[in-house]
Amino acid sequence: MVLTDIRQQFPILSRMVKGKPLVYFDNAATSQKPQQVIDALTHYYSFYNANIHRGIHTLAEEATMAYEATREAVRDFVGADATEEIIFTKGTTEAINLVAYTWGRQNITAGDEIIISGMEHHSNIVPWQILCEEKKAFLKVIPVTDEGELSIEAYKELLGSKTKLVAVVHVSNSLGTINHVNEIITAAHLVGAKVLIDGAQSAVHLDIDVQKMDCDFFAFSGHKVYGPTGVGVLYGKRELLEDMPVFQGGGEMIKDVTFEQTTYNDLPYKYEAGTPNIADTIALKTALDFITAVGKDKIRVHEANLLAYATAHLKTIPDLSIIGEAKDKAGLVSFVVKGIHPQDIGVLLDNMGIAVRTGHHCTQPLMKRFGIPGTVRASFAMYNQPEEIDVLITGLHKTIKMLT
């Protein structure tokens, strides 16, 4: 297995938890940060902390250049045509809300339909519910199969002339399923609907090419791609972003303000009101560069190996069932153990220094679909090692023994 040396670049991985070496398997919630990213943050605050865009002094210029360099790096990372199409947000959730409040308010009217899927994160459910309620529109849901895949046939039946938007997750944070978004997008476009892809879990694992995908919007978060918290990205097709109304008012988003009328700034600033999260945005570039330097291909192979290894070993544990056995899966595995509440497993594993996620993973409707209160989820990153999976498996045996 490769990527053993990478661990040294993540200082947190050498800490102890409850007297044991940390085994961090909660990467789908947030990934750990390499030293470079941490350094980028301190470097900004130590050497060129300044507000961006308006200042004419040296620090302001340096900060502005670094900030805009991230936009260019993101453009490249997602394969967008123009930097104007890259809007910085707080994260995936804010990016989705931005679309709901701007494009949604402008384009959704009574009787329209928005399609989401049965495996959406609450962040890609609630904004659409709010919009549908306000506009008297309808939310339709693509069913999830027992394997944890989206039923494409059912999806195609939901599509119709009333469908205005399809908003689906690229990689499920609860099941690991990689959705076939190309097919979903093509079908949506045939009925004239726009498509938003929730890339919160995919940006770190998959090669993203928004132009090839032809999605209309794509959202992801910095903190899940080895970058800082508090910064995320909305990609939108230029024509759409041009036509959409503004989101929040004030700061950089204006061109001219009089008390009678305000003209708005050009893209992407039109959507970036107020002083943005400068330091974290700058450090996001370092994170993306880091991923690129390691190589997504290499990371993917590594994580696929971890997934296969974990899956094989988990399957040997009696009464354990894996939830989500899609053919195409990213590096995460969710499971339940008969007669044991996931929280009990999580609490005991924590005492062994093992960090997993337990619960509904902010996908309550999906848990309901599978008739479970939640799962135990182990999600992998480039720095995880098979030995850590051994620790998890041993820990699980012990945990189950203590609980039964």
Partner 1 sequence: MEQRSIPEIEREIVEDFALFDSWEDKYEYIIDLGKKLAELADQYKIEENKIKGCQSTVWLKAFYNDGKVHFKADSDAVIVKGLISMLIKVLSGHTPEEILNARMDFIGEIGMMTHLAQTRSNGLLAMIKQMKNYALAYKIMQGTKNE
Shortest CB 152 distance to ligand PLP, Å? 19
The mark string for 163-182 relative to ligand PLP (x by CB under 6 A, - otherwise) is ------x---x---------
Backbone torsion region of residue 278, taken as left when φ is above 0, otherwise alpha when ψ lies between -120 and 50, otherwise beta: alpha
- CA pseudo-torsion sign 396, 331, 203, 117: negative
Is 116 an interacting residue with respect to ligand PLP (CB under 6 A)?
Answer: no
Q: For the chain, how far is it from start to end, CA to CA, in angstroms?
A: 35
362 is catalytic: yes
Shortest CB 360 distance to partner 1, Å? 8
Residue 18 binds: one of ligand PLP, partner 1, none (C-beta under 5 to 8 A by kind): partner 1
Q: Is 395 helix (H, G, I), strand (E, B) or coil?
A: helix
Is 351 an interacting residue with respect to partner 1 (CB under 8 A)?
Answer: yes
Shortest CB 103 distance to ligand PLP, Å? 18
Shortest CB 45 distance to partner 1, Å? 30
What is the rounded CA–CA span in Å between residue 202 and residue 225? 9
Residue 327, classified by CB atoms within 10 Å of its CB into exposed (0-12), middle (13-18) or buried (19+), is: exposed
Helix axes 386-403, 296-314, angle to 10 degrees: 30
Q: Which stretch binds partner 1 (CB under 8 A): 95-103, 130-138, 270-278, 344-352?
A: 344-352
Residue in 17, 126, 240, 362 annotated catalytic: 362
Is 399 an interacting residue with respect to ligand PLP (CB under 6 A)?
Answer: no
Q: Which stretch binds ligand PLP (CB under 6 A): 35-43, 91-99, 303-311, 318-326?
A: 91-99
Is 394 an interacting residue with respect to partner 1 (CB under 8 A)?
Answer: no
187 Cβ contact partners less than 8 Å away, ≥ 6 residues apart: 155, 156, 159
Q: What is the DSSP string of 167-209?
A: EEESB-TTT-BB--HHHHHHHHHHTT-EEEEE-TTTTTTS---
C-beta of 299 vs 352, nearer to ligand PLP: 299
Q: Which of 25, 44, 84, 91 binds ligand PLP (CB under 6 A)?
A: 91
Question: Residue 141's beta-bridge partner residues?
Answer: 116
Catalytic machinery residues: 362
